[in-house]
Structure 1
Amino acid sequence: MVAKISIGSSLYGALAYNGEKMNKEQGRVLGANKIILPADGQIDIARMVENFNDFMPKTGKTKKPVLHISLNPHPDDRLSEQQYEILAREYLDKLGFGEQPYIIYKHMDIDRHHIHIVTVNVNEQGKRLNQDFLFRRSKRITTGLEEKYNLHKAQREKITPDMPIRKVDPSGDIKRQVANTVKMVGMRYMFQTIGEYNAILSLYNIRCEQTDGRVNGREYHGLVYFATDDDGKTIATPFKASRLGKFASRTAIDSRFEKAKDKIEVAPTKRNVDDVLANAADKSDFIAKLKVRNIDVVFRYTDEGRIYGVTFIDHGTMTVLNGSRLGKEFSANAINDRFNNPAKVPVNNPDNITPIVVPPLEQMPEDTTSYSQSPTDTEQHTQSSGGQHQSTIAQSVSDFGDYDLLIPGLDLFQPGQSFNPDEEEFRRRMQRKKKGPRHRF
């Protein structure tokens, strides 16, 4: 059995938290001491706070008089509500809080039912109860209760480097699963943004959101974690990072962002993705071939189905990289065009040769309408080859007069300087200056 003790200042907050479980039919009151419980079971939190205050001094120096304790038997210990209550009362007696006002709740929000206790650590005379070695004493008490009632002994799950990370199982202890996954992901993988962090978490049905705000004039910046199903829908009450551990906090994750910047090597992942992308028939083939190389890819889509985000998770190098970090050709826009708009993908042209496109005669400028190809020209064009063919094209262009580069790509064969639109505009301005301003009458 594991006991967790939180010491705080808000009695109302602790009672409201448990009251919320009752409102959702995920909790019920098992018993109380010095607290009046209504016969109809309808708990009035304000009235309950008054009951507690009757046994507390009106003034005092204790800033954090509230204890919120949870007792968590092993999942294999199936206990009745009466047995839960007996454990709670005996635990409080041995801890030295048996005569304090308290209330005992049973929570059923997860498969492993457990107990919550709200009490205070100040007596009626205003004296604070003994809290020396409180957590150490609590551990000895729970160990004794396990032996007395033949309960399963609590064993802290050790996280080892080779321990596999699994998706959240809705039928298990969701909070513990989320905490373990967040810890293992942070220990093993390198990422540099909240988006990359969420990409790796999403593989295990977890989502993280940043929370920024102001409470009592003070700014706060935190993280909240959500357990989801395979479709990304939330399946449990979200957990503040503080409930999971320091490793899940905003400070800890921001620190991992900074450390990863100097450690991540992009080249190995880029080589693998580039090779797969060049040979992938479609998106499904792309995903499958990446998996063979121990790389997962996470896509993010708009409502219209366009890919607006792509992140590669390389389990070989333990790195998480947004596509744009690998290069422009691996960005979300490029990947979307590659698989959703193949017509926009440029044709492979290793020699970078500009194709020659001859426009129809009706699209020629007015000063070229006199151009026509004589039979002699046709015969010369048909019989020529190599350099002769190039000279024929150049001669044809010269027939167009002052018109520069009418046909894109012909500058490859034309001697002299190529067409420069800035210089052309400057030349025209100078010509207008020579003619002088036009006067309108």
Structure 2
Amino acid sequence: MVVRISTGKSIQGVLRYNESKRNQSVAQLIGSQGFAKGVENLTVNQLAKRFEMLTSLNSRTKTNAVHISLNFAPGEKLPEEKLNAISKSYLDKIGFGDQPYLVYQHQDAGHPHLHLVTVNINREGKRIETHNMGRNQSEVARKEIEFEFGLVPAEKQQRIGPSLQELGRVVYGRETSKSSINTVLNHVWANYVFTSLGEYNGILSGFGITAYQGEKDSQRYQRGGLVYHVLDDKGRMKGVPIKACSFYLKPTLKNLERKFLMDQGKKEQLLERVKAKVSGILSMSNSLDQFSQNLKKNGVHLKLNHTQEGKIFGATYVDHVHRIGIKGSDLGKEFGAHGLAERFGLISAGAKGPKKLPIGKEMETDGLSIRGNPTQEVGVIPDLPLQFSDSPYKGYPPGKRKKKRKKNDKPSES
């Protein structure tokens, strides 16, 4: 059994994700604790109120939503009764046995798995510690449950966790756009680091979505508005744009800018790790296509932006292992659009600006061809083994955390 744990600030977002899967008939609510009979007929708001009764007791803890997936080996056919027993045993062992919770069984992947939804505030208003829970309580619980219920150990499974492919790309015309976009936004905000709109869109493009400000002379752009579009397989925006403020997460430009600042410390910690990986791959690549393919094999998606005339003007690296989007030039000049174009002969050394790709010439980027008048390149999310705490980020770097000033302390005069 493989366990993946994530925490967030929106219990509504977690519930909407699982309920949207129910609405698509790819998930069932098979168990609960702390809810009256008929829980399967409650709306998302009604379900959320039960959890908010607890979170309202501790207003200082903002990150209070807990979302856990229990993943079983392909071929393990477990009855509902056993799945509920496993869920109950697991939550008991990690200290959440007295919490209200919901158990969803999903059928949208190649292996059986459950999603457990709860909060980390107990009935006394105290916070249940989740720091390092994946490596400590959860690991012990997992091994005990594997032995108790005769499950395939995580170490013997071909993969050590659910892949990003299981979340999948949003496909225009195949599903309800808003609920699908909402699912992706919740996942990206909870699990990825990004400090600019370009980095954010680099990550979103892998899921078939983009955030769009509008043209610079449009009212939307001038007023700081933002909408979300589904992308087709050529990276073109399709369908009706959906305003950022209409999602429960409220992923508006204003809120994005707050997240950019919050993620800056995380980015500083991860930057050198990603740079070392990308630099090693670049040194072994003889063409832009080979570089992109080699990156993909190592869990990194290279997103290239093009003008309508076909010129490369931006490069973003999305590392799905460390879960971060980084602007190419932040890694170094040689990793930016101009540096890549110069290295691989798309422009002559010392030339200003990248070379326009000849019409009809095919440029292979991450397995997709762009001919003639390319738009944004859209990559495929790599099928990677992911698990809890696979990112080395553990909080603000030493000395970077802001110290809170006591109420009676007066700021010193300089």
Query: Which TM-score band applies after superposition, normalised by the shorter structure?
Result: 0.3 to 0.5
TM-score normalised by structure 1 residue count:
0.43
TM-score normalised by structure 2 residue count:
0.46
Quick check: which has more Rg, 1 or 2? 1
- The structure richer in helix per residue is 1
